[in-house]
Structure 1
Amino acid sequence: MHDGRSARRVRSKAFYFFVSYAPAPVTSGDAEAEDLEPDKDVEEFHSDLIRAVAGLSGSLVPSSLGYLDATDRGGPDMARALQRSHCFVPLITPRYFTDGYCGRQWTAFETRSRRGTSIPVLWAPVPTTALPLPVDLDLPEPGRPVAPMQVEAEALRRYTEGGLYGLRQYPGGSDYYDQCVRRIAQCIVQAAHRTPEPAPGEAEFADLNVPDAFATASWHRLGIAVLAPDMNHLPPGRSDTKYGHEPRDWQPFSDGLSIPLVERTAELARNLGFAPEIRTYDEAEAVFLGRSDADSPWVLIIDPWILHDRGAVERLRNFDALDLPWVTVLTAFADDPQTLRARERLGELLESALPRRLSRGRAIQRWAVAGTGLDHSEAFNSRFVELADSAAQQYLNRPLRSSTSPSASADSQGDQEAQP
């Protein structure tokens, strides 16, 4: 048992590292109440990292080596630990860059008077277009003259593709995970040994009243457009249970969430680091037909029931003829029995409205449009994540409007879409 003096010595010593992490919010019955769910995988990683750092540093007090900030946020212990830690270890996930609290931690560490070392750790894959500031997502390496601890090539590959969380889930990947943890610990120990201890009179954070480093002004904009009927303009015989008073009220999936699909999609986009803007097809059509310059990539979400309207089919055919790769298309099939019975006919209507995308588009785009999938929220969300990033990359690489004629642009972009 420690006496009071030894306890004070432990508290006054700087932590080797501070793990910054964005926990997933969990809503309880009250829509206004939101708790933070402790992530057991993150807690186990924190413990594993402490053991690795202890082994490399020779410390006899492992509890003083690392601080995990996840669910107990904003208190004086957190502020003291952030001020006094040698290394800042953010666990990089898509959610991390949408968490203003993490953004303020980032700012506070980077701007404190005593220098420290940031060692980002990839926890889950993040699209490059979702990064609001430059972040090195490779497995960290110690600086010279220290030789990096050995990590197998397959471990490096899997770390790059799936992060540490992916390595933890990969069957037989425990050795790869351990190798990566030891490498991270090596970098922490080296950095900690190079960082001065806090001075006795060093000012400490009173709070995190600093700007969010991930302010939305630096996010990539993403347009989300919806083409769907409203309950007053349905095809003959179509049930109105999935619809509201305007197209953006459409809710194709019966998964217990009474939130329109486009709003749920916008929240998913924010989790990826985008700044989404919701529009109806009518509001965005000038961009889709080239009559107005695009200032962002787009995702167009279609309810195939709208294609019983021949006018809607012709409008989509005009859009499809341009084949703009920075506008990706997702078709969501409602999960009601009526839609299930009509799948074949709805697929035929899609082929009529979007012939280029279904014949010459990339495989990922064809699958997202055709009448063979995206009939539940998990499949839709997964495909949206892939296509939103693809649209952003295509937007950044798009040819300038003045550099080519519309017909030449359509042909060259169509050829790009045809690549596997």
Structure 2
Amino acid sequence: MPLFFLSYARIPGDRRSGPDPDRLVFDFYMRLRNRVAAYAGVSGPDAGFVELPGTTGEEVAEALSRCRVFVPLYSKRYFTDPQCGRQWTSVTRGAAPAAAPRIVPVLWTPYPATSVPQAVQETPAVPESAADGEDGYATMGLHQLLDLEEGQAQQVVEWLARRIVATAAGARPHGDPDPAALARLPDAFATLPPSPPLRITVLAPSEGRLPIGREPSRYGPDPLDWSPYGPVAGGPVAEQVRELARNLRFDPEVVSFDKALVELRGTGTPAAPWILIVDPWALQDAEAARQAGAFDAAHRPWTAVLTALADDDPQTKEHSERLRGLLESTFPRFVREGRIGQQTAVRGLGAADTFAQWFCELVESVYMRYLRYIQPRSSLGSSDRGIGPGADGGGSGTDEGGGAEAGR
């Protein structure tokens, strides 16, 4: 019967090689669990629970049903995660208003007010009786404090531990330990406004049109089957970015480059912001390179380029200097005009988690540029979709893992 249950939205990414993308969540959990155990005078396992890799659905459902305090890590990603929404429903349905303090939220990363579901609005992460170091916590969130301000982060952890222990004293377990019942619960967060559209285009060869000598294991019958980081890193990049975009509350459409050429060349008002994902091997085809270069020269402000140049692909690593040369000659404007990190995203990203982080960063950036571009051309007016600081490409725009909402 854990005193608290830590609820978080998982970051998509490869968990079979390299560090877990959610490692900072687990580090925070252990610090919080240790302090709760010390204040409550209980053992560590009795103090808290978090879903680790390999945890079964039965273990999650039982811990959720038996916990006394529910500790959600608030973030933009959290409010769009159906599993988190079902967990919220589990601990709040049928509860009297007096039971509301059972929830002790944590501001994990800042989020726009417009992204907060109605179910959450009366349970703020930074109440009036806030922690020491409130200013940093309220503006940056605990995720960034843990990276940058260790002293303030520890103050917030101590404050949260005391709140959890005090809240647990007057709370009772509530819920159903059946994982099937948990899966059937409604998502408490599923009342957000409609998601704005996002176009994602993949420029990559199919296995039948590979450059001479290119090893075919990371390709399939269609360009959208391209898996730049291999099957262990999540499979086709088209599926990975579609999931990331949905977690960011966009409605993505993913198409291959050849099927999007007409719209990319269009001069009318765009229907959506656009991300072009590039396999540099495709640029060995002269016609593909010419068309991609024309896209670069067209200067579409609502677009961005992202390149996968996988470190774990021996052939790509061997030819990386030549492939980067192709990218720089094909996309000189994107390389020249972006911030340093965005230039790096064009020149090639070696790891799957870094690719995911920069995809999220660029999506928010092109969305803001898209709104600025179309507003004078339409009756759209101001957007209902709030975007946090840095999302227009001028600030940090950081979230879990270093990208805008790569995390949450």
The TM-score by the shorter chain falls in which range?
0.5 to 0.7
Q: Between Structure 1 and Structure 2, whose CA radius of gyration is higher? A: 1
- C-alpha change, 1:20 and 1:294, in structure 2 (3 Å) is same
For 1:133, the equivalent position in structure 2 comes to 117
Structure 2 residue matching 1:399: 3-state secondary structure:
helix
Letter in 2 for 1:402: R
Structure 2 counterpart of 1:260:
236
RMSD: 4.7
Aligned letter for 1:349? Answer: L
CA shift for structure 1 position 399: 2.8
Q: In structure 2, how many angstroms separate the alpha carbons of the residues matched to 1:338 and 1:382?
A: 24
2:82–2:187 contact (8 Å) kept in structure 1: yes
The answer for the alignment partner of 2:398 in structure 1 is none
Tell me which of 70, 73, 79 is aligned to 1:91: 73
Question: CA contact under 8 A between 1:139 and 1:180: conserved in structure 2?
Answer: no
Identical-pair percentage? 35
Alpha-carbon contact 2:196-2:251 (below 8 Å) kept:
yes
The answer as to 2:149 corresponding to 1:163 is: no
Q: Distance in 1 between matches of 2:199 and 2:227?
A: 19
Which whole-Å deviations, capped at 9, do the CAs of 1:115-163 have from their partners, x for residues lacking one? Answer: 114442134x4775995637789962335xxxx453275xx26x85462
Structure 2 match to 1:245: 221
2:313 counterpart of 1:326: no
Are the aligned partners of 1:151 and 1:179 in contact in 2 as well (CA < 8 Å)?
A: yes
For the residue of structure 2 that corresponds to 1:300, the secondary structure is strand
Q: Which residue of 2 aligns with 1:307?
A: 283
Q: Is the 2:296–2:330 Cα contact (8 Å) retained in structure 1?
A: yes
TM-score after normalising by structure 2: 0.67
Which residue of structure 2 lines up, in the alignment, with residue 228 of structure 1? 204
Secondary structure (helix, strand or coil) at the match of 2:61 reads coil
Structure 1 residues 48-127: aligned runs within 5 Å? 48-49=35-36, 51-52=38-39, 54=40, 68=49, 70=51, 71=55, 72-75=59-62, 78-79=64-65, 81=67, 85=68, 88-92=70-74, 96-97=78-79, 99-115=81-97, 116-117=100-101, 118-123=103-108, 125=109
**Count of aligned pairs between the two proteins:** 359
Distance 2:26 2:323 in 1: 42
Is there any run of 5+ residues in structure 1 with no aligned partner, and where? Answer: 1-10, 30-37, 55-59, 405-415
Change over 3 Å in CA distance of 1:287–1:190 after alignment to 2: farther
Q: CA deviation at 1:114?
A: 0.8
User: Which residue number corresponds to residue 132 of structure 2?
Assistant: 150
Q: Would the aligned equivalents of 1:331 and 1:368 in 2 still touch at CA under 8 Å?
A: yes
Higher relative contact order (CA 8 A, sep 6+): 2
Q: Is the 2:90–2:175 contact (alpha carbons within 8 Å) kept by the matching residues of 1?
A: no
Please give the alpha-carbon distance, in whole angstroms, between the structure 1 residues aligned to 2:111 and 2:132: 27
SS of 1:350 mapped into structure 2: helix
Gap change, CA 1:66 and 1:96, over 3 Å in 2: farther
Residue 277 (1) aligns with residue 263 (2): no
In structure 2, the partner of 1:288 is: 264
Structure 1 CA distance, aligned partners of 2:14 and 2:351? 22
Of residues 341, 352, 355 in structure 2, which corresponds to 1:380? 355
- Which piece of structure 1 moves more, 184-193 or 212-221? 184-193
Contact between 2:304 and 2:334, CA under 8 Å: does it hold in 1? no
Q: How far apart, CA to CA, are the structure 2 residues paired with 1:417 and 1:258?
A: 28
The C-alpha deviation readout for 1:265-300, integer Å capped at 9, x for no partner, is 334445555554322113333443336754543321
Q: Does 1:46 align with 2:33?
A: yes
Q: Give the counterpart letter for 2:126 in structure 1.
A: P
Q: CA deviation at 1:48?
A: 1.8
TM-score by length of 1: 0.65
Partner of 1:212: 187
| Aligned residue in 2 for 1:354 | 331
Paired amino acid for 1:48: R
C-alpha separation between the residues in 2 aligned to 1:127 and 1:332?
Answer: 28
Contact 1:330 1:384 in 2 (8 A): yes
Q: 2:345 aligns with which of 368, 372, 381?
A: 368
Conservation of the 8 A alpha-carbon contact between 1:329 and 1:369: yes
CA deviations 1:340-378 (Å, max 9, x no partner) are 4544443443334323212223333222113xx423434
Residue 246 of structure 1, CA deviation: 1.6
Structure 1 residues 297 and 184, CA gap change in structure 2 (3 angstroms): farther
Q: Does the aligned pair in 2 maintain the 1:16–1:66 contact within 8 Å? A: yes
Structure 1 pair 332–67 and aligned structure 2 pair: CA distance change class (3 A): closer
Distance of 1:248 and 1:133 partners within structure 2 = 34
Shift of the 289–107 alpha-carbon distance from structure 1 to 2, 3 Å rule, reads farther
Q: Partners of 2:4 and 2:218 in 1: how far apart?
A: 50
Hey, what's the Cα distance between the residues in 2 that align with 1:27 and 1:360?
A: 31
| Contact 2:302/2:373 (8 A) holds in 1 | yes
Check conservation: 2:73, 2:106, Cα contact below 8 A: yes
Give 2:360's aligned amino acid.
V
Which segment is superposed worse, 284-293 or 315-324? 284-293
Q: Which residue of structure 2 aligns with residue 399 of structure 1? A: 374
Distance of 2:12 and 2:262 partners within structure 1? 38
Counterpart of 2:238 in structure 1: which amino acid?
A: V
